[in-house]
Structure 1
Amino acid sequence: MSSGAEDHAHGTAMAVADALGARGEAHVWWWRTPEHTDPADLPLLDTEEFRRALSLPAERDAAAFVRSRAAARRALAGLFGLGPGEIALGRRSCPGCGDGSHGPPKLVVPDLGLPLSMSRTAGCGIFALGAGASIGVDAESVRPVRGSATTDADLTAAERDHLAALRPGPERDASFYRIWTRKEAVVKATGLGLSGVELGLLETHPGRSGPVRVTHTHRGRTTAWTVEDLRILDGVAVALARPAGPAAHGPVHHHTDH
């Protein structure tokens, strides 16, 4: 690409990012994960991602990982008017320890300062980008929940009471995964992951349809998050967390990449 074309492409991407930020929007893409690695996905991986894919012992897991990284680049390319091969992904430093090997995902090229989040579950991948300083998305395949899970220490007393009031079956299963994805979306948005807080301290208000406000405290600092459930695919619970406040309260645009 010539220098002039590069400048034009960067200008287009910046304009899209500025508009997204001004409206406080988020974009969420989802796709089915394949059973086998698609050769068309491989050229979009960087060296480290390729090595990680090779290290995964199960073909299904490797195929899901490869598709997720390739699909994320295709999604961003479509949004910003670039080629998928022009998109570079990396990681931010962990806000807890400063380590750059396990922080949240980062958009390296184009460098637009927009937060990213990714999640995979059985048969499905999710990718999110949004306005504001942070974003977190989590997806979980809904499956039958054992009775012991409803008394787990990772649940608050109010969450346990909510589940205990429900008969075993689809409604209770859906409520459990609504709780779990809301918690995971928040800890992803903080960048700290599961090591950053005791999940039993995160109150997700499962009786409310949402959006809900969830607070997270780490080393004496409390942050507030707006969390909403997304209807993406039957049998999959998905939650999106964005910073509480007007900067990230715009619409969420859904995209399907089959």
Structure 2
Amino acid sequence: MQTHGGVRLWRGRAPDTADAGDVALLDELEQRRFEKYRDPVTAAHYAGARAAIRRTVARWHGVRPTEVVWGRGRCPGCGSDRHGPPLIRAPRTDWRVNSSRSGAWWMLALSHSVPVGVDIEHRRPLAVPAVVRRCLGAEERAYVAAEPEGRARDEALMRCWVRKEAVAKGWGVGLGTDLARLAVRPDRPGAVLERTRAQGAAARELWVVEDVPAGADCLAALARPAGPSGPLVVQPPEAGVWRGDDAAVAEGLGAG
């Protein structure tokens, strides 16, 4: 197991055709979701991304992919463990995990001992009026409106969106929170946000949300607590992903 701190970030692209080895690595919940996809390309992207994330976590911890067991913490808002932040239940580890997928593209963040949130979005036009009304604050609406209509405005909106998702996921509250009240300052390379967990100044904490490299086809953001949480290291695309014998790996399925 790795012992140095900070945040490690990986990204990659899933294949457009489902691979039997990828599908074999899916756990029970992932398998059910995979089977619900009617479009074979979308299903392949899902299976490929989940398998790559599992292999990367396994490689980082020095275990086989089938030894990685996912779980969820409790939502800090309602206490439910059905939609709380993701956890690595096995192997035992101090590393916190968060991941994101948009189409074929996936991103994985591992953070030592502190929570982390990450979001990646494939560059594409968004339904600007609906999204703006739902999730942007006044300053963010002005930021988006100041850009020329078309690609520039779509990208401005997407920058707001990925930052908001990264923060919401890092906080563990998901998208059920009021995103319009979450000001992420997309005009800056990084922004500091204040989070209040409960009544009283002692429950306040500062978070940083920043743009991270995601290639020419995507935008991405990462959120983590402010302070000395260690360096952010962006790994080369798919670096460290397990490339063992998937047939042998499949024989060990059941615990994952």
TM-score with structure 1 length normalisation?
Answer: 0.83
AA in 2 matched with 1:257: E
Matches within 5 A, 1:13-162: 13=1, 16=2, 18-19=3-4, 21=5, 25-146=6-127, 148-149=129-130, 151-162=132-143
How far the C-alpha of 1:147 sits from its partner, in A, is 5.2
**2:194 equivalent in structure 1:** 215
Matches within 5 A, 1:165-244: 165-195=146-176, 197-210=177-190, 212-217=191-196, 220=199, 222-244=204-226
CA contact (8 A) 1:150 1:163 kept: no
CA contact (8 A) 1:77 1:84 kept: yes
CA contact (8 A) 1:150 1:160 kept: no
Cα distance in 2, alignment partners of residues 58 and 96 from structure 1: 34
How far the C-alpha of 1:215 sits from its partner, in A, is 2.8
**1:7 equivalent in structure 2:** none
How far the C-alpha of 1:149 sits from its partner, in A, is 5.0
- Which deviates the most, 165-174 or 234-243? 165-174
AA in 2 matched with 1:243: P
Unaligned runs of 5+ in 2: 240-256
| Aligned-residue RMSD, C-alpha | 2.1
How far the C-alpha of 1:239 sits from its partner, in A, is 0.3
Cα distance in 2, alignment partners of residues 123 and 170 from structure 1: 21
* Residues 134-155 of structure 1: per-residue CA shift (max 9 Å, x gap): 1100011222345525742411
Report how many residues are paired. Answer: 236
How far the C-alpha of 1:71 sits from its partner, in A, is 0.8
Cα distance in 2, alignment partners of residues 111 and 85 from structure 1: 14
AA in 2 matched with 1:235: D
Query: Which structure's relative contact order is higher, taking Cα pairs within 8 Å and 6+ residues apart?
Result: 2
In the TM superposition, structure 1's runs of 4+ consecutive aligned residues that sit over 4 Å from their partners are 217-222
How far the C-alpha of 1:217 sits from its partner, in A, is 4.2
* Residues 165-197 of structure 1: per-residue CA shift (max 9 Å, x gap): 2111333222211111000000000111011x2
- Which deviates the most, 105-114 or 42-51? 42-51
How far the C-alpha of 1:88 sits from its partner, in A, is 1.9
- Which deviates the most, 74-83 or 198-207? 74-83
Cα distance in 1, alignment partners of residues 76 and 117 from structure 2: 14
Cα distance in 2, alignment partners of residues 88 and 140 from structure 1: 26
SS at match of 1:152: helix
Cα distance in 2, alignment partners of residues 169 and 93 from structure 1: 40
Cα distance, 1:147–1:207 mapped onto 2, change above 3 Å: same
SS at match of 1:237: strand
Cα distance, 1:42–1:170 mapped onto 2, change above 3 Å: same
Cα distance in 2, alignment partners of residues 219 and 198 from structure 1: 16
SS at match of 2:142: helix
Cα distance in 1, alignment partners of residues 11 and 56 from structure 2: 10
